[in-house]
Amino acid sequence: MKDGFIKTAAVTPRVSVAGVDENVQVIKSYMELATDEHVKVCVFPELCITGYSCGDLFYQDRLLLDAAKGLMTLRDATRDLEGLFFVGLPFLHRDKIYNVAAALSGGEVLGLVQKTHVPAYNEFYESRQFTAGFADTEEAILPDGSRTYIGTKLLFRCENMKQLTVAAEICEDLWVANPPSIAHTAAGATLVVNLSASDELTGKRAYRKTLVETQSARLYCGYVYAGAGAGESTQDVVYSGHSMICENGRTLMESEPFSDGMILSEIDLDIISFRRRNTTTYGTVPPGDYHISTFHLSEEETQLSRSIDPMPFVPDDDTDRRARCEEILDIQSFGLVKRLDHTKSKKAVVGISGGLDSTLALLVTARAFDILELSRKGIIAVTMPGFGTTDRTYQNALSMVHALGATLMEVDIKASVRQHFSDIGQDEDVHDTTYENAQARERTQILMDLANKEGGLVVGTGDLSELALGWATYNGDHMSMYGVNASVPKTLVRHLVKYYADVCAASDDTLKNVLYDVLDTPVSPELLPPENGQIAQKTEELVGPYELHDFFLYHMLRLGRTPKKIFRLARIAFAGTYDASEILKWLETFYRRFFAQQYKRSCLPDGPKVGTVSLSPRGDLRMPSDAVADQWIKEIEELKSLGK
């Protein structure tokens, strides 16, 4: 429960049709197993106490009485179990039979949530036996004379975990145009459970998964879906036991087809809360006519079984990654197309260093010129050797420009920078910030003046990761007339260049080989003299690994996580790659630089947003340049003092 995580489970028990006693024992054993696994919310399928496929047997007093008594047995079992459990059964109330989800915890029946939408079409004929639920909450009498609540508007709130409010809907409720979960989440539910008995048809599994993922995405909620499976009657249809645990549109865990048993995963309630408060169009209403039952959970640190992606900006699946790369290149290129068209520019000026970022900018510019049906000769690719330029990057820059058919221009900046050093009294042997930044600003001046001279615009090369860390010279490479890489993180830049090499340059061995060598070159601004002809200034040795910084950036801005929580997740994601002390060291570097360098981001040039995280002062990040990082650094210092 710490850090906002709640462990959930969806169970598909092997039921016996109309065999209540046997089903109750099977359900009880899974409830005990869930407690052993530290599950806090556990969901069983629709009508699991009796089996869903009982048909007209639901009219029988014997079955209804036994189902109610079975509920009492499960209720009593929860006195010695930890968690909130949802089980399905037929329940007789005011001489009508209702399909209900019973919420059990701490030896109590907290409420009976009725199925709102009872189907009677195709293979479904539930309305023959069951009555649709009603909106007004009423008292219901249980077999032992105790009372609980019944209705469709019930919420279950954890007393000691403020983010956790649970709502239930049953199978068909999700498939209608206006699912009850819409109202439930607007009234405060952060976790929706669905007790289901959806039969299996060709293609239905994929549709069902999309339905659950989409609902959890649009409602910013966790969604636990438990499907009926083995043991149900196969007289006319078959049940596959399809269960899922989703969070904000992402499937955390899914059962194998035609399987029974329990699936587990942890839902991050902090993400749900952050997304809701961060999205101004997400509507909430007072609970109003909802009845709220409370329950209590013991507090403990949830052991995480969910996967933590070390590269959240980069899709895992190769097919997805290739599709994403193509999409991003299109966004970048068409953004530049519009700017070129609007400014009536027939030329573009790009500074080429032979590094990753300038390579991507040049590739995007070539793509934009192709879309506009302009000659690539209008792309003026400028290489500007300085004190730190190595033969490797220089030759790669030349080869790339020739392969793409752009116009190459070389301007050696050493003489002009030395003149500038003389003008301001800078000792060339002192390799300080002035020494480095003077070169970057000289290069930008050349690019800007060339753009004026040629009637074109300067295409920026800096990426999202550099902007986050402020790893750019103010009014140097920090400036351009359109920054095509502004919202592309470094970890994704690498994949975009590789995609271009593999796909777009597949038939051009020269370009392909150059791009692969660029990918193998250490990231560097090359502002310090080489050592034995090799790059002396390696960015990641100075500011830290970009894969860590991109991870920090994503979890801080996209998900609103605290340093403590980011550290916890980073230890899992990068286990075996970085130890705890390294992660803490670079996490502190990230926060210090992110806050201190905001003034550079406050005056960024235009550039297209390509993903869910952007640092544009006109778009995603309205942050004062004078904000201090003290509270975030304090949390990191506390982690250090604890020896984490």
Q: How many angstroms separate the CA atoms of 158 and 245, rounded?
A: 20
HEC string of 439-474 equals HHHHHHHHHHHHHHHHCCEEEECCCHHHHHHCCCCC
DSSP 154-171: EEEEETT-TT-EEEEEET
List 54, 171, 325, 504, catalytic entry: 171
DSSP output for 472-514:
S-TTTTT--SEETTTT--HHHHHHHHHHIIIIITTT-HHHHHH
Q: Report the 3 state secondary structure along 558-591.
A: HCCCCHHHHHHHHHHHCCCCCCHHHHHHHHHHHH
Q: 349: closest CA among 488, 443, 417, 415?
A: 443
- Using CA atoms of 182, 186, 188, 193 in order, give the dihedral in degrees to the nearest 10: 10
Q: What is the Cα Rg of the chain in Å?
A: 30
Tokens of 80: 């010695």
Single out the catalytic residue among 28, 40, 46, 232: 46
Nearest to 361 by CA among 511, 488, 508: 488
116 in Cβ contact with 68 (< 8 Å)? no
Cα distance between residue 571 and residue 120, in whole Å: 51
| DSSP 3-state percent helix, strand, coil across the chain (nearest 5) | 40, 20, 40
Backbone torsions φ then ψ of 619, nearest 5 degrees: -120, -95
Determine if residue 584 is left, alpha or beta; phi over 0 gives left, psi from -120 to 50 gives alpha, anything else beta.
alpha
Residue 46 appears among annotated catalytic residues: yes
Cα–Cα distance measured from residue 438 to residue 417, given in angstroms and rounded to the nearest whole number:
7
Query: What is the strand order of the sheet 407-410 is part of?
Result: 407-410, 379-383, 348-351, 457-460, 482-483
Q: Is 414 a catalytic residue?
A: no
* First-to-last C-alpha distance (Å) of the chain: 19
Q: Which of 529, 542, 550 is nearest to 594 (CA)?
A: 550
588 is catalytic: no
CA within 13 Å, CB half, 562 = 15
Q: Are 41 and 193 in contact (CB under 8 A)?
A: yes
Residue with structure tokens 């003008």? 423
CA atoms within 13 A on the CB side of 426: 18
CA dist 21 and 261 (Å) reads 19
Strands of the 5-12 sheet, one edge to the other: 138-141, 147-151, 108-114, 96-105, 84-93, 41-43, 5-12, 261-268
154-158 vs 84-93, strand pairing mode:
unpaired
Question: Which residues are marked as active site?
Answer: 46, 115, 171
